[in-house]
């Protein structure tokens, strides 16, 4: 059985909180965007369905197109996804550079 003392990690051994200013605001915005269950489902969908349009996501989720569009806007503004307009539709995909930045920063902090 693991004791509470064994569960507590020495903060000097692994963790730093060397983030502030614009980088911290960016990270907080990204965490907030993922904190919504619907947006998290959209991200999961985009991992396996890159370059899809809003209608594809609407078919996947049991919510209205306008609601999906609002969630996509939040994800885009937070930097998780990118969208390219192709005629009347927007093709969405993961923003690989921003996701790489996020993973690096989380790794540095924890």
pLDDT one-digit tens code per residue, 3-41: 666 666 555 555 567 788 999 999 999 999 999 999 999
- What is the pLDDT, as a whole number, of residue 100? 97
Distance, C-alpha 104 to centroid of its chain: 14
* From the candidate CATH numbers 1.10.10.10, 1.20.120.530, 3.30.1330.40, 1.50.10.10, the one assigned to the domain spanning 23-109: 1.10.10.10
Residue whose entry in the numeric block shows the structure tokens 């609002």? 70
Q: Could you tell me the pTM of the whole model?
A: 0.82
Map out the domains of the chain as residue ranges: 23-109
Which of the four pLDDT bands, split at 50, 70 and 90, describes residue 109?
confident
C-beta of residue 57 within 8 angstroms of C-beta of residue 8: no
- What is the pLDDT, as a whole number, of residue 50? 87
Query: What mean pLDDT do residues 80-92 have?
Result: 92
pLDDT digits (tens, 9 = 90+) for 65-77: 999 999 999 999 9
């Amino acid at each position: 059985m693991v004791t509470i003392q064994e569960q507590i990690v020495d903060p000097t051994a692994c963790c730093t909180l060397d983030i502030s200013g614009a980088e911290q605001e960016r990270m907080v915005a990204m965490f907030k965007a993922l904190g919504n269950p619907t947006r998290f489902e959209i991200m999961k969908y985009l991992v396996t369905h890159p370059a899809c349009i809003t209608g594809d996501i609407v078919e996947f989720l049991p919510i209205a197109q306008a609601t999906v569009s609002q969630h996509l806007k939040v994800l885009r503004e937070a930097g998780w996804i990118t969208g390219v307009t192709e005629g009347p539709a927007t093709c969405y995909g993961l923003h690989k550079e921003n996701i790489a930045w996020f993973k690096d920063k989380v790794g540095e902090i924890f």
